[in-house]
Amino acid sequence: MLPNEIHSPGALLRAWGVVSEPDDELRAYETWWETSGKKISEVVDRAGTPLLKMFDRFGARIDEIAFAPEYYTMLYRGYRAGVIEKIFAEKSLLPSYQIGYVASFYDSGVYCPYTVSMSTAVPLAKYGAPEVREKFLPPMLKRDDSVWQGATWMTEARGGSDLGANVDTIARRDGDNWKLTGDKFFCSNVGAELAVVAARPENAPNGVRGLALFLVPKLRADGSRNFFVRRLKSKIATRSVPTGEVELRDSEAYLLGTTDAGIYLILEVLNLSRIANSIGSVAVAQRAISEAYYFAQNRVAFGKPLFEQPLMRAQFEQRARELQNAFALAWYAARLLDEVYLQTPPYSDRYHLFRLVAHLAKYHTAEFAAQTSKWAMEVHGSAGVLDEFPIERLLRESMILAIWEGAPHRQILDALEVMKRKGAHELLFHEVAPRADPHALEDIAARVDSLLALSQNEMETQSEPLFRDLAEFTAISLTGI
C-alpha cells in the first residue's frame, strides 16, 4: 500500500527514519512551498531561459541574469532554511540533504544551486588555505539574501566524463596565487559568487593526474569581473537554475589542496553532487507518485475511481515498494558519505564502500525517477502530456537526473574500477549480509566474481545487466521488501 505520507516529503522523511523530531525548520520550509513556493516555481518554469544582460548602458560588461524577483524569493528561501550553513553548524551533510529532498519534491531545478554551493563550500573549508577560507567561506554560510552561492565547473566543449583528455583550461602561477584561461561549456548556477574549477597547471602531465582544483571568485580583487558569461543555455528542464558558458581570461584563482592531488578533490566534489542527485531523484519519484495517486483517486472510469481498478492498484503498490527501496539506497549512500566526507587521500576501505554505493544509488535512483515520471504520465492519460498540469514538467526534470554528474555508463565503469581495484563489493556484501536474502546474496556475489575475472573489454561489455541487478539487490536488502 502507499504510505500515508506520500503527499509530503517531510512527512516521508520522518516516517522512514531520516529526520528525527523536532524538525520545526524543515516543517516551516515545506509549509512555505505549499503556500507560496509552488506557484513561484510554476511561473519560473513557464518563463523558460532567463535574459542575460551582458552590458550596462555605458558598455561595461556586467553579465547579470535577469530573473523575476520572485525567483530570488524561492532561491533564497532554501539558504534561509540553512541548506549550507547547517552543514557546518551541525557538522553533518545530512541536514542539507534533508532540505534538498524537500526542495526537489517541489522543484528539482532549484536544488541544483544548493547542491553546487555545498560542493563549493565543503572543499573550500577542507582544502582552502587559511586566508582563503577566512575570506570566502563566511559569506557562503549566511542565512539571508546576502548569502554567496557556489558552482562547480568541470565540463568543456569536448565533453565532461573524460576530464583527463577534455580539460584545456590552463592555470599559471601569479605570485602566491594563480590565473586561469579557458572556456567552460556547461556551467550550472552561472551567476554564483564563487566556483570550483578544474584546470591544468602549466607543464603538468597529460591525463587526470595533471589536473588541479581551483576556487574562482566572480570578482577580481579590484572589484571588476573575473570571468564572463558567453551565453545562457536553453534546456528542456531545470529552468530554475541558470546554465551557461563561461570564459576564463586570466581569471584570478586560488589553488585548493595541492597540484598533484587535484583529481581526488574533483572526484570528491562530484560525489557530493552525486548523492544530491540521488536524493533529488527519489523526491521527484515521490512527487510523481503523489500526483498520480491524487489523479487516480479522483478520475472515474467504468464506474469507479482508477485507483480501485485492480491493475492500477497493483501498479501503485509496486511503485510504493520501489519508492521505499530507492529511498533506502539513496539515504544509505548519504549516511556513508556523512561518515567519510572529511577523509583525505589515501582513503579508507569505508570510503571505497561509499564510492561503490554512490555509483549504485546514482544509477538506480535516476532511472527510477524517469521511469516513475513516465508511468505517472501514463496514469494521467492525455492530461499527462499537457504543460498546464505538473506531470509533463516532472518527466522533463527527471530526464536530466541520469546525465548530471556522470551518465549511467560512467557510474558503471567507475563502479567496476572500485570493485576490481579496492574490493568494494566484498565490503558491500558484508555490510548488507544480515538483512539480505542468503540465496540472492550468494548468486549476486558469484556473478560479480565471474564478471571481474573477464578481460577488460568483456567485463565492460557485459557489465550493465549485473550492475542493474546489484543496485536493485542492494536496495531490496536495505528494506527487506
CATH number at residue 128: 1.10.540
pLDDT at 116: 98
Instruction: Report the amino acid identity of residue 138.
Output: P
Q: What residue has cell string 539558504?
A: 79
**Do the domain assignments include residue 358?**
yes
pLDDT at 351: 98
Q: What residue has cell string 528542456?
A: 236
**Do the domain assignments include residue 34?**
yes
Domain encompassing residue 172: 152-259
pLDDT at 13: 97
| 170 and 253 inside one domain | yes
| 252 and 268 inside one domain | no
Non-local (6+) Cβ contacts of 235 within 8 A are 49, 243, 400
**Do the domain assignments include residue 4?**
no
Residues 319, 480, 103, CA angle at the centre, nearest 5°? 50
Residue 181 to residue 376: CA distance in whole angstroms: 46
Please answer whether residues 271 and 337 qualify as being in contact, where contact means their C-beta atoms are separated by less than 8 angstroms.
yes
**Do the domain assignments include residue 145?**
no
| 46 and 16 inside one domain | yes
How many domains does the chain fold into? Answer: 3
| 72 and 129 inside one domain | yes
| 33 and 81 inside one domain | yes
| 254 and 162 inside one domain | yes
Please answer whether residues 171 and 180 qualify as being in contact, where contact means their C-beta atoms are separated by less than 8 angstroms.
yes
Please answer whether residues 330 and 322 qualify as being in contact, where contact means their C-beta atoms are separated by less than 8 angstroms.
no
Residue ranges, the chain, pLDDT below 50: none
**Do the domain assignments include residue 1?**
no
| 237 and 277 inside one domain | no
What CATH number is associated with residue 415?
1.20.140.10
Residue 435 to residue 224: CA distance in whole angstroms: 58
| 219 and 296 inside one domain | no
pTM, whole model, 2 decimals?
0.97
> Residue 185: which of 264, 262, 240, 248 has the closest Cα?
248
Q: What residue has cell string 545562457?
A: 232
| 161 and 115 inside one domain | no
Report the 10 Å Cβ neighbour count for 91: 10
**Do the domain assignments include residue 43?**
yes
Write out pLDDT tens, residues 173-204.
998 889 999 999 999 999 999 999 999 999 99
What CATH number is associated with residue 200?
2.40.110.20
> Residue 87: which of 114, 122, 134 has the closest Cα?
122
**Do the domain assignments include residue 2?**
no
Environment class of 61 (CB within 10 Å of its CB; exposed 0-12, middle 13-18, buried 19+): exposed
| 269 and 386 inside one domain | yes
| 273 and 255 inside one domain | no
**Do the domain assignments include residue 147?**
no
Strand ranges for 308-433 from DSSP E: none
Task: From 92, 113, 140, give the residue that closes a domain.
Answer: 140
| 243 and 332 inside one domain | no
Task: From 259, 285, 312, give the residue that closes a domain.
Answer: 259
Task: From 225, 259, 293, give the residue that closes a domain.
Answer: 259
pLDDT at 21: 74
pLDDT at 159: 74
pLDDT at 160: 73
pLDDT at 307: 96
% of the chain beyond a pLDDT of 70: 100
